[in-house]
Amino acid sequence: ITIDVTPEGGGPDLTARTYSRAETNPRAIPLADGRYRLRVRPVGIEGAAEREEKIEIVDGGRVERAFDYSTGQVAIGATRNGALSDVTYQIFAAGDRQRAVATGRTYRTASSNPARATIPAGKYEVVLTAIEIAGRPHAELPPIVVAPASEVAVAHDFSSGGLAVRVVRGETLVDAVVAVRAAGKTVDQGRTYLAATSNPVRFTLQPGDYTAEVSEIRGAKRSLAVTIVAGPETDSEIDLATSD
């Protein structure tokens, strides 16, 4: 740890550091009589908070302080419809969402999912964000307690379904923008262009009811109500030659 010592009555600040060797930990800091403020900062521990204490040296006496920065580990697993899924995670101290203690990403490989974060022992809240699903839905997991030298495992399975929207005029592919909306808000959008590789345009969505709003480039507009269920892809076609 790094220790900053500030005299309350004025004077030069002092800085000292402990290492992992017995000759430097505990660290003895010679001080004259007086009152001081200590600011302690851990080195190399992700998310560990700074600590402050006040001490007073009287008649050349000795004051002892101990700071415990024991750590534990959190294993974060994420799946989508049962398969490994790429999500981001944030770990917050319980009741404090201002600054994450640790952040990271699981990706979709067994070597990184579950992801692992080493953090100080304590109570925490974990929030996952599904980056593979339109709208990037969140999952707030139940609070956890991380004990020193131990691991806590958390996991969540996100549900999603697919939507494929093909836009044509008769037998001809149509270049159009497709906006997927729910509850009056745009969740995702894409463009079909004029190639079979992009038309139909595809979306990954949470299960629920949506409206697909189709706007032909410099042309017609149509809308289609769709219901997405977990797992399979819903195929929809809008024929601008016949649709009203």
- Per DSSP, the three-state class of 58 is coil
- Read off the tokens for 201: 């345009």
Interval 100-145: pLDDT, tens: 999 999 999 999 999 999 998 999 999 999 999 999 999 999 999 9
Exposed / middle / buried, residue 69 (Cβ in 10 Å: 0-12, 13-18, 19+): middle
Contact partners, residue 229, CB within 8 Å, separation at least 6: 161, 207
- ∠ CA 23-65-48, nearest 5°, is 90
Q: Is residue 38 scored above 70 in pLDDT?
A: yes
- Predicted TM-score (pTM) of the model is 0.79
- ∠ CA 63-64-67, nearest 5°, is 145
User: What pLDDT shows up at residue 11?
Assistant: 81
